Amino acid sequence: MTKPTTIRLPEDLVSEIDQYVHEAKLDRSIYLREILKKGFSIDKQERVLQKYAAGELSQMEACRALKWDPWQFFEELRIRNLHLNVSLEDFLHSSELPGK
């Protein structure tokens, strides 16, 4: 189900899009919808990962928001050269294991 919406775009962007869809023989509306979806998805990933890095989201909360599994999460961090939200202080304060 799709819903119509209106947005104002810069003229040069519109002409570049029009030129591309003409050359590639694409449906303009479908193309715009797809790149909007793609752009929104990238933007959402960035926003969620920023919240994760700031400690506002846990790993699994971030996974749920992005529909990632926890294994994928580490790979996605690697691709983006991002790190875990564990601080040096957390590492230094973490306990010792009980002796067996």
| Binding interface with another protein (CB under 8 A) | 55-61, 63-64, 69-71, 74, 77-78, 82-88, 90-100
- Other beta carbons within 10 angstroms of residue 48's beta carbon come to 19
Shortest CB 92 distance to another protein, Å: 7
Nearer to another protein, 38 or 78 (CB): 78
Shortest CB 37 distance to another protein, Å: 24
Nearer to another protein, 27 or 56 (CB): 56
Report whether 2 contacts 33 (CB < 8 A): yes
The CA distance from 64 to 54, in Å, is 17
Shortest CB 91 distance to another protein, Å: 5
Nearer to another protein, 25 or 83 (CB): 83
Listed in sequence order, the residues at least 6 apart from 61 whose beta carbon sits closer than 8 Å to its beta carbon are 52
CA-nearest of 54, 35, 33, 55 to 43 is 35
